[in-house]
Structure formats: structure tokens, C-alpha cells
Amino acid sequence: MGLRMKKYLKLIGKTTPPDKLTLYDGYILLRKILKDDFAVKLRHKDLKSLMYLRNHSILSHGTNIADPKTVERFMHLTSGIIKKLLKLEGIDFYDARKNAQFIEILEDEVLNALP
């Protein structure tokens, strides 16, 4: 096992490489091991806070109801990250948001696509 892998496993508190990466573990890999330019620019404290809010609220699989201030903070932090990423890709956030739309996938389409 390489030195980088050992360092990564220590950072995420594991002894063997995971089969699947959590969102936060992926961020740690990008920031601390691969020194990804984008991940390094994100505030670690903000991202850790986002993960906590997401994981413990009904926004994900938690049971807590987030108060309006918390939801506003969540939206502000995530919007900031998305804006930075789109800027890096040369995409205007407001144009992308204006043109974004939800797609409708019918249950039959999903079931028919399965083998």
C-alpha cells in the first residue's frame, strides 16, 4: 500500500480502502491527498458544516427539521460552491439557473429500462 493511500486511510479513519466514497471522504481525498485546486479553495469548516446539516436533517436521511435560518445558510453555502465550480468551468450561474429545468421520468420508463 502506497504512502498516499496510508495517509488517506488515516484521515478518514479506516484501515482498508472503502468500496464506496462518502461525499465528505471524496472531498478529503481531493483536498488533502490529490491537492485538487477547487477542493483546496473550499473552506473546510463550511463544507463540514454542510455535511452535518445535510446528514442530520430531513434534507437527507436524518430526522431533524431544520429551522429557516439553517436552511438559508445551507442554501447560501451550497450556492457559493456551485457558483465557484461553474465559474471554473466558464459557465454563468444565473444563465444556467434560468435555463435549468426538472426532467420528468415516469416510473414505467425506469422499470422498463431495468434488465
DSSP 8-state assignment for residue 18: -
Ordered mean pLDDT values, 10 residues apiece, the chain (115 residues): 91 91 89 92 84 75 77 86 90 89 82 80
**C-alpha grid cell for residue 65?**
427539521
62 lies in the same domain as 113: yes
52 lies in the same domain as 102: yes
Is-contact 29 37, C-beta < 8 A? Answer: no
Domain limits at 109?
48-115
34 lies in the same domain as 1: yes
Dist CA 87 CA 81 (whole Å): 10
b/e for 35-48, b at 16 or more Cβ within 10 A? eeeebeebeeeebe
Tell me how many domains the chain contains. 2
Q: Report the pLDDT value the prediction gives residue 54, as an integer from 0 to 100.
A: 78
Q: Report the pLDDT value the prediction gives residue 9, as an integer from 0 to 100.
A: 93
Polymer length of the chain: 115
52 lies in the same domain as 105: yes
Q: Which amino acid is at 105?
A: I
**C-alpha grid cell for residue 6?**
496510508
Q: Report the pLDDT value the prediction gives residue 99, as an integer from 0 to 100.
A: 85
Q: Report the pLDDT value the prediction gives residue 110, as an integer from 0 to 100.
A: 81
